[in-house]
């Protein structure tokens, strides 16, 4: 299973990902139409890019009265919106814990990140390397390794 990971310690808030996403998906530079949002956190002086997390027990699926959102057995396309069933009631926007679902007012339909079919454009445009597409099995290993490295720095000294 592929997961888009964002590292707030690397993100410099350049919004390249957001702009690229909006251009690819909507053809215009409009942050409202971007599938990725960069949250500026003044409290700790960090930025955090947020996308659909493809929750296992997704609130958006539970909230949809038309059963238009469903989970697929696919490593990339996990949670998908069926636009034939969607009526644009915006319940999913309300339900999403991350604010990762946006609403296209021109089309009257919600939208969310689809990982660009497995090759997310935002990852290519993230110059500091804050965004990475990882296999879920690798995340645990990478985190453990980073943590181990931090501890060994002290030992080497």
Contact stretch for other proteins (CB under 8 A) within 56-64, 69-77, 121-129, 147-155: 121-129
- Binders of other proteins in range 5-34 (CB under 8 A): 12-16, 18-20, 23-24, 26-33
Residue nearer to other proteins on the CB measure, 121 or 139? 121
Rounded to a whole number of angstroms, the minimum distance from the CB of residue 36 to other proteins is: 12
CB 49 within 8 A of CB 11: yes
Contact call for residue 112 and other proteins (CB under 8 A): no
Binding mask 72-111 for other proteins (x = CB under 8 A): ----------------------------------------
Handedness of CA 17, 9, 37, 136 (dihedral sign): positive
Candidates 67, 119, 127, 135; binder of other proteins (CB under 8 A) is 127
The token pair that represents 60 in the structure block: 């958006």
Separation CA 121–CA 18 (nearest Å): 10
Residue nearer to other proteins on the CB measure, 82 or 127? 127
Contact stretch for other proteins (CB under 8 A) within 40-48, 66-74, 91-99, 130-138: 40-48
Cβ partners under 8 Å of residue 133, min gap 6: 2, 3, 4, 5, 115, 118, 120, 123
Question: How buried is residue 50: exposed, middle or buried, by Cβ count under 10 Å (0-12/13-18/19+)?
Answer: middle
């Amino acid at each position: 299973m592929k997961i888009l990971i964002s590292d707030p310690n690397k993100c410099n808030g350049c919004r390249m990902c957001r702009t690229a996403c909006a251009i690819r998906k909507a053809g215009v530079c409009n942050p409202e139409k971007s599938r990725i949002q960069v949250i500026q956190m003044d409290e700790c002086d960090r930025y955090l890019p947020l996308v659909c997390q493809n929750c296992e027990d997704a609130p958006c699926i539970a909230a949809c009265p038309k059963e238009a959102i469903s989970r697929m057995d696919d490593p990339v396309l996990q949670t998908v919106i069926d636009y034939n069933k969607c009526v644009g009631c915006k319940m999913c926007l309300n339900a999403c814990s991350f604010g990762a679902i946006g609403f296209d007012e021109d089309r009257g339909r919600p939208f969310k990140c689809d990982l660009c079919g497995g090759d997310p454009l935002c990852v290519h445009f993230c110059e500091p390397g804050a965004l990475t597409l990882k296999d879920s099995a690798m995340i645990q290993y990478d985190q453990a390794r980073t943590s181990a490295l931090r501890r060994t720095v002290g030992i080497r000294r």
